[in-house]
Amino acid sequence: MKKSIFLLAIYLFLFQYCNSQPVTPEPEETGTWASAAEINARLGKGINIGNTFEAMPSWQSPFDPADLKRIAGLGFTHVRIPIRWERDDRSMSSAPYTIEPKFLQTIQSVVDEALKQKLHVIINMHHHDALMANPAGEKARFLSQWAQIAGHFRDYPDSLLFEILNEPHDKLTAELWNDYLAEALQVIRETNPKRCVLIGTAEWGGVGGLQALEIPNDPQLILTVHYYNPFQFTHQGADWVEGSEAWLGTQWRDTEFERQAVEEDFKAVIRLSGEKKIPVHVGEFGAYSRADLDSRVRWTRFLARWFGQQGFSWAYWEWNSGFGIYDPQSGQYEQRLVDALIRDPMP
């Protein structure tokens, strides 16, 4: 018995001693910053949480945190979160242009849950209508908001990205946009010197605005473009597009001619990406639900696979509304579209 007690005492001493010794910690992921090319590769396949935080109250879809688990479970690797910061219930329209702390916390909770699900996250400034209509008058607010957003998220890992502005247009001309994006980037760099930032094109963010874009000298940039061609197919029957009822019945058959049209549209993007060594993210593409499903599947499948072949990351528009792949009322997926995005091989 005494021998057993003695051996037990020795064992307890050794256990306590070993557990008191310092352990070499694992490297902290938040302290590492990958290159823009590496991060763009990690972005991979994404989807927009659309018609939610960028919407006005009359047409805003409620956000369900469980959606992020669903999205990750389907095989997507990032989410793009469009955000309308200028709403009266979210920020001040006059100096000092303060963003409501409660709303910042709301967005932070979404980002935190997405990161918890191992998703990369893009947050942007979306539908800043006042800035488009009056750039000079709204510039101070625009820059102040980015200073606040960047400061709030300054300690987040490199899996969070910023996108300066969605689809500049109207009086925010291509020339002005070059100045505004450079100044906003400078503001962001004061608190986030290494974070990846996405920059889009003027003239509604499409490939047509690429020629006028001046890309700042910054290694942590990703070029983002949107793609909805052919527009009469992707927006047929859309009630916010004048004359779109006449387009109903337009099909996309995945012919060689149709594929060549896509390739032609992206020639300038691919050329600029190579010349400037800047990776490409297709931030929006999708076909509205009033198009026939067979055509939507063909168009979506071809683009998703072709973008991947070019080394582009992409984010489908969108999760659960008019272009969506998920019905929150029934809890059902449009499985053929899900497969077109994630699983189907290139025909």
| 284-303 pLDDT per residue, tens | 999 999 999 999 999 999 99
Q: Is the separation of the CB atoms in 81 and 107 below 8 Å? A: yes
Q: Is the per-residue pLDDT at 121 higher than 90?
A: yes
Q: Which is the catalytic residue, given 113, 167, 203, 318? A: 167
> What angle do helix axes 101-116 and 66-74 make, rounded to 10 degrees?
30
Instruction: Judge whether 284 counts as a catalytic residue.
Output: yes
Does the pLDDT of residue 28 top 70, yes or no?
no
Q: What is the mean pLDDT of residues 80-95?
A: 97
Tens digits of per-residue pLDDT, 144-203?
999 999 999 999 999 999 999 999 999 999 999 999 999 999 999 999 999 999 999 999
- Note whether 300 and 340 are within 8 A (CB): yes
> Band of the pLDDT at 10, cuts 50, 70, 90?
very low
Domains of the chain in sequence order: 34-342 (3.20.20.80)
- Is residue 117 a contact partner of residue 73, using CB atoms and an 8 Å limit? no
Residue 255, pLDDT > 50, answer yes
Q: What is the pLDDT of residue 16?
A: 40
Mean pLDDT of 267-275: 97
pTM of the model: 0.91
pLDDT, position 25: 30
pLDDT band at 14 (very low <50, low <70, confident <90, very high): very low
Instruction: List the one residue out of 271, 248, 252, 249 whose CA is nearest residue 261.
Output: 252
* Catalytic one of 54, 203, 284, 318: 284
Residue 29: pLDDT above 50?
no
Among all chains, which residue has been given the structure tokens 């760099």?
A: 189
- The pLDDT assigned to 15 comes to 36
4: confidence class by pLDDT, cuts 50, 70, 90:
very low
What pLDDT, on the 0 to 100 scale, is given for residue 31? 65
Q: How confident is the model at residue 32 (pLDDT cuts 50, 70, 90)?
A: confident
Q: Whose CA is closest to 108, among 63, 58, 149, 67?
A: 149
Asked whether the predicted pLDDT for residue 26 surpasses 60, the reply is no
**Has 175 been annotated as catalytic?**
no
The Cα–Cα gap between 62 and 21 comes to 50
